[in-house]
Chain A
Amino acid sequence: MAGPVVHIRNLGVRLSRNFAVVIESLDICRGERLVMDAPSGAGKSTALGLVCAAIPDSGFPDRVHQINGRDVCPGLPRESFAGPEALGFVLQTNSLVPFLTAQENLRLPLQLTTQRAQPEWERHLIETLGLRRLLGHLPSALSVGQRQRVSIARALLGMPALLLLDEPVASLDPANVGKVEHLIAQLAQEAGSAVLLASHQAQSGVFSDAPRLRCDVLEHDGVHYTLFNRPVAISQRAWS
């Protein structure tokens, strides 16, 4: 598809009387990767929530929010723009439904939108992420790393246009961080997904050379703003 997967201007939310998170400018094309590298507490998760419209914005002036070329207006049903073919999301923790097996969790986004997975792609994800023997288990029977791998498979099963990652390896032991990041990068590339990674530990590893969103903090009228911007100069770099 021509055009950016995500096109955002002045999309922000006031979290309290004196704190707001704003994405001033963000465009990501299919296949691109981008890192949101900011200190803990700066509002990375909030910014990701704004991008996928899980967090309703505060309607700042000149607001623009498009996903896959479609305007995301306030009140628009989430299912109309955030289906598994549009967005995939990997949370830091708590991302699996506790009463469904790994396989049911894996297929849940497609089941909710009455879509079916491509069998070849599903098999490939399961094999690559080493999930075959875990499919019948409930999340409570899986380790943190295994749960994250199920979560990654679920986010990619619909071959989404945009993959959002919120500190996906933060809770893993250091020995597995590089391996999981590599798997994410590989599978996202195979799916043709753009990647937006929120992480404070992407200085090394497979995402170390990915472009960064600039994060500025300023104060205006007693309000602290965290502003995310994609510098224009690097916005056209394609992920390779």
Chain B
Amino acid sequence: MKLPVPLSLALRELRHEWLAALCFIAALVGVLAPLLLLLALKNGVIGAMVDRLVEDPANREIIAMGAESYDAAFFVRAEGWPETGFIMPATRRINAQASAVRNPATRALDRSVPLVPSAPGDPLIASDRGVLPGSVWLSSELASALDTTEGSEIEMLIGREVDGTRETARLPLTVLGVLPSDAYGRKAVFLSLQDLLAVEQFRDDLRLSADDLDRAESSPERYASFRLYARDLNDLQPLMNRLATEGITARPRVENVALLLGFRDNLNLLYGFIAVIAVLGFWASMVANLRGMVERQRVSLSLLRFLSMPHRSVARIPLAQSLVLVGIGVMLTLVLVLPGLVVLNTVFQAPSGDPVARLGMSDIGWVLALGALTGASAAIWAMRAAASISSEEVLRNG
């Protein structure tokens, strides 16, 4: 295929002035490679770390501070708030604890285990299989202490004292699953509200015998507490405001949520700032280089005009050169950076197994598009200069 004349001349000139072209490309790679590496790191371990911090449900939890109690109507209202991600009534803290939990198979036993009411949709249990009456999830630490796994049968022991005599009720439970270690860092049983209320009722109602525990039924008029999670971090403050209008004193579990949000936003801003400064710097350098190239080629371009090459065709020569140089620069950068990322990910393995540095196809597409845009816009001054070169200059220089 025959190339258009301006492109053909542009390529021949670049080949002839290969050293200048090489310096131009080296300057481009020098700017682009660290920028791509930074982007890859941001996409990789840094981004994953920040996302994990931002997405950790614990950071979205709101804790009630006062000694109020909450009726069923409050929970209906709270579930309807758009900022609410998950809300769960809870019992008094003193009742939300099993005397012990044991694994009959191994006889492993753990005492004073916290009980956390849960339900399908609980953000701590990232699974479709939420708790049911008689079926629970265990925190990783507790599962490890009991030497139990998903599908095991365990036994929960609830103690009370009646007239100085200690009574213990036993509740058999099926382990539906074990939470990942980073989801909940303490020992806990995640159980249905119905089971938790049964525990509370057994402790409070001395008429119930230990054998009646699994038949206890209770629907209290008011609940002593709740577990509440905002839909996302940005909803945390509006949700606090709603609670305040309900007269409820509460605080977020993580004090520095604003700092966390700021960190995420600032990281994006910081990268954007670095990228803009780097691209602007390179753009300015390209503008000057391309303009300088036109000046070096002035007599030749005038000769082309003299030989009847149209202005617009002469102007396309620096444009073609800019796009070719940027194209080669971007390709060379990718050829250097992509294998570099493989090496980086092999040498520095993240504990989570996630890649330390990552570049997606969309990132590469953006880099190519940005390169083409930068190359084309940087060539405008050079194009104008080339188009303004007259045929008489070669006569004066001849």
Contact = CB atoms under 8 A, between A and B. Distances in A.
Interface string B368-395: 0000000000000000000000111011
Most buried by A among B303, B307, B392: B307
Contacts of B308: 78-79, 82-84, 109, 112-113
A49 interface: yes
Interface string A77-113: 1110011100001011111111110001000110111
Contacts of A56: 390, 392
A48 B392 CA distance: 10
Given A109-B308, A111-B5, A98 B16 contact: yes
Contacts of B390: 54, 56
Contacts of A84: 307-308
A195 B309 CA distance: 23
Contact of A108 (B299, B307, B398): B307
A109 B12 CA distance: 16
Nearest to B312: A77
A166 interface: yes
A226 interface: no
Given A108-B307, A113-B308, A54 B398 contact: no
Identify whether the interface residues of B are mostly helix, strand, loop, or mixed: helix
B315 to A, nearest CB: 14
B13 A55 contact: no
Interface residues of A, number: 32
A226 B301 CA distance: 30
A111 B3 CA distance: 12
Nearest to A140: B16
A84 B16 CA distance: 26
B310 A166 contact: no
B268 interface: no
Interface in B1-29: 5, 9, 12-13, 15-17
A193 interface: no
Contact of B392 (A49, A89, A112): A49
Given A54-B306, A78-B308, A112-B309, A166 B398 contact: yes
B397 A94 contact: yes
B304 A91 contact: no
B394 A94 contact: yes
A68 interface: no
B388 to A, nearest CB: 13
A91 B304 CA distance: 13
A97 B398 contact: no
Given A95-B303, A112-B304, A166-B398, A54 B391 contact: yes
Interface in B293-320: 299-300, 303-310, 313
Contacts of A89: 306
A112 B398 contact: no
B395 A99 contact: no
B302 to A, nearest CB: 9
Contacts of B392: 49, 54-56
B300 A78 contact: no
B123 to A, nearest CB: 66
28 contacts: A45-B396, A49-B392, A54-B306, A54-B391, A54-B395, A78-B391, A79-B310, A84-B307, A89-B306, A91-B398, A92-B398, A93-B398, A94-B303, A94-B394, A94-B397, A94-B398, A97-B304, A98-B16, A98-B300, A99-B15, A99-B300, A104-B12, A108-B304, A108-B307, A111-B5, A112-B308, A138-B16, A166-B398
